[in-house]
Chains A and B, each alone.
Chain A
Amino acid sequence: MPKDNEHIKQRIAETLEMPKDVVMDFPKATIIGNIQVNIENHNGIIEYSDKTIRINTSIGVFKIEGNKMSIKYITLEEVVIVGIIYKVEILD
């Protein structure tokens, strides 16, 4: 449910060909093989265990399921999860 000004932002980003995650404050997830997930622009951790990790973002919750997962490092901008990744899910 994008608001009006978000709609405008998206239009601008499209016309100027700017990266959407920068303009729209969207999260950006990078999955490397099945061993690492990087999520930029997150809003904190909701759940953290070695089987399930849930991360809050501006568009919803990223739920990552896997085995022997751990957080390689975490800063305000980025969280890097390593382990064996089975599933990355976006929940509204």
Chain B
Amino acid sequence: MGIQELIKYLKGYLILRIEGLNLEKFINISIANGINFWDMKRLSMTAIELNVDLAGYRALKEMLRKTNSRAYVISKKGLPFLFSKLKRRSMLVIGFVIFILLIFVLSSFIWSINIKGANNVSSKEIRQSLSEFGIKPGTFKLNIPVIDIENNMLIKVKEISWIKITLKGTRATVEVKERVDPPKILPEDIPCNIVARRDGIIYKIVSMKGDEVVKEGEPVRKGQILVSGVIERPETEIRYVHSLADIEAKTWYEEKVVIPIKTMKRVRTGKKESKIYINLNDKTLLIKNTDVHYKIYDKIKRSLKLIETDKFELPIEIVIEDYFEINEVESLLDNEEAKSLALEEIEKQILSNMAYDARIINKRIDYVVKEDCVIASALYETMEDIGVPQEIN
């Protein structure tokens, strides 16, 4: 039935009310002339409702005249009528065509660039290089030589080892892999000394190549030569070697932290003002503005992207700025609290300074409690390899 309905719709048909005294005769004459009716309903003695196709309707006039009947159009259905309606509303059709074209044209530009995998390389730099090679918001995307740009990017941006550009919808996704530089190792054929990288007391020194300059138990300063690659022996020429040694030294890490007993606590009073505006690229349009007259406040900014999908992102965002009024309340820490805070802080600082291979062998933390603050000083004794190679000039 579906196909027949579709054909009827494509050809166009009308629902008519026929009024006359001899409707049976009208029907018989009509079908004898090849006009087909369907969904016929008797309305009254003198009226029927029926459906007839467009071609049949045109031929119907003669039958109506012959049988003295009249036809009233109840409704017109189908494509031909839709077309004639649209002909009268040409601007609607033009608008629709423009709309389709606009979407088609706008969607063939790149509107946003997503960079994935850039942790140490600044994505700003990648963006800039991309725009030099022709990928930037607003570029027509159909004739972008993606492979060429990928290759050029690899040459230009030294920090990346792999790049993949995918154009998906209006978004260009750029995936990069950063180059991991191998640690700088002095080649073994280049003669070198071993110097101290920080102050310490030599605990153990075993040299495999080169002459030891310091002894166990001897304090050394940063930069001091520990093993020399210059080998002088009586009655032979001076030789230069690539020094190699196993050195362990005792080192110290010192840190001092001051924790004030009196602290200001920020408490929200519950009062709030907000500003709302629309961000379109770099332009802003204020919707709701308020004068913030709070002395101290927290500003919290939220932004809502209207449409953001994998393929598409509208460059419009709604920004809501909330201003919360703040009351500062004084609060006093007791000694124990201040000490534990100080300890936490001090450990964090020392561990961030310490060499990765350092081993803690002893730690001492002293607290000095004053009127308004607690001062904590820590001394960590550690064991580490302080030798680093240094080329001989």
Contacts and interface: CB of A to CB of B under 8 A. Distances in A.
Interface of A: 44-50, 70-76
Interface stretch (B35-43, B58-66, B190-198): B35-43
Nearest to B26: A45
A71 B45 CA distance: 15
16 contacts: A44-B24, A44-B28, A44-B31, A47-B24, A48-B23, A48-B27, A49-B45, A50-B41, A70-B42, A73-B36, A73-B39, A73-B40, A74-B37, A74-B40, A76-B32, A76-B34
Contact of B39 (A45, A46, A70, A75): A70
Chain B interface size, as a band, is: 10 to 19
A76 B33 CA distance: 8
A76 to B, nearest CB: 5
Contacts of A46: 24
B258 interface: no
Contacts of B278: none
Interface of B: 23-24, 27-28, 31-32, 34, 36-42, 45, 48
Contacts of A49: 42, 45
Given A47-B24, A50-B41, A70-B41, 15 more contacts: A44-B27, A45-B24, A45-B27, A48-B23, A48-B40, A49-B42, A50-B42, A73-B38, A73-B39, A73-B40, A74-B31, A74-B37, A74-B40, A75-B36, A76-B34
B22 to A, nearest CB: 11
Nearest to A48: B24
Contacts of A70: 39-42
A44 to B, nearest CB: 4
Contacts of B42: 48-50, 70
B24 A71 contact: no
A76 B37 CA distance: 10
Contacts of A72: 38-40
A71 B41 CA distance: 7
Contact of A75 (B28, B31, B40, B41): B31
B139 to A, nearest CB: 60
A68 B37 CA distance: 18
Nearest to B50: A71
Most chain B C-beta atoms within 10 Å of own C-beta, residue among A44, A47, A48, A74: A74
A22 B37 CA distance: 24
A49 B36 CA distance: 19
B23 A76 contact: no
Contacts of A45: 24, 27-28
A44 B31 CA distance: 8
Contacts of B39: 70, 72-73
A48 B31 contact: no
Nearest to B37: A74
Contacts of A76: 31-32, 34
A72 B38 CA distance: 5
Contacts of B32: 44, 76
Contacts of B36: 73-75
A75 B38 CA distance: 9
A49 B38 CA distance: 15
